[in-house]
Each structure stands twice: as C-alpha cells, then as structure tokens.
Copies of this chain bind each other. A is one copy, B any other.
Amino acid sequence: MTLGKHRWVIAEGYIPGSSTGSGRAFESHETTCILNASERDANVRITLYFSDRDPVGPYTVKVCAKRTKHVRFNDLKDPAPVPRDTDYSSVIESDVPIVVQHTRLDSRRAELALLSTIAFPGD
C-alpha cells in the first residue's frame, strides 16, 4: 500500500523541562508518530531547527515495513540531545511514503495536558 508523503513538517516543538508523576508514561514529552504502511522499510531522517542556532541533524530512525514507530524527541541523542524548555521545529524525511502526527504530553502541573496534530505534508 502506498500511503503518505516523503517529507513532513512539525512547526511547533517544545519539550517542557519538568514533570510530575512517576514513570516514563507521565514524563513530559513530545512525539513524532510515524506510520510506514508500505512493503519496504523506511529510512527516516529528522532535522531540528532552532531560533538562534544552525539546524541539528539528521537523526536517523528506521521504521520497518508495515510498522508504526512513536519516536520521542526526548530520546534523540545522536548527534545531540534535544534541549528542554526550548522552541524548535522538525522536518521528517523518508525514502518511502510515511504519515506523521505530532503529540505533546505536558505534566508540569499535577494534571496532564495534551495536544496533537497531523503534521504538514511537504510534498
């Protein structure tokens, strides 16, 4: 099945620097959810843009054929971790068509806040 696009943009980006609650599930985080519904593995490259410095990347992620991967920006390490409490944007590029959705869970206060949107398909 061919479904999706090769390039996607998430213009919003901000990982809250604090959390309440315990465990990974309740840690403040941002996620790029990637679906690869095709028959071929996807080699995905993520580039981060900032307000006051050059872009950082690419971060490389493999999403196997007929699989989804929910990538936490918090977990990206190479070439550099994603700074907290910092505005950024991201561009996601793949060699096979994928679909991308952006989600944030904010647990800085005791109760959760969520946001989500389908990313912008760049081509």
* Chain A residues within 8 Å of B, Cβ to Cβ: 1, 3-4, 7, 9-14, 21, 25-26, 31, 33-35, 37, 49-52, 54-55, 66-70, 85, 87-89, 91, 99-106, 108-122
Q: A51-B68, A116-B12, A121-B120 are in contact. Are A89 and B99 (CB under 8 A)?
A: yes
A-side interface mostly:
strand
Copies in the complex: 4
Residues of B within 8 A of A13 (CB): 33, 68
Contact of B11 with A101 in the complex, beta carbons under 8 Å: yes
Residues of B within 8 A of A11 (CB): 33-35, 68, 99-101, 118
Contact of B3 with A7 in the complex, beta carbons under 8 Å: yes
Question: Cα distance A85–B26 when bound, in Å?
Answer: 12
Chain B's closest residue to A87 (CB) is: B70
Residue of B25, B67, B114, B121 touching A115 (CB-CB under 8 A): B114
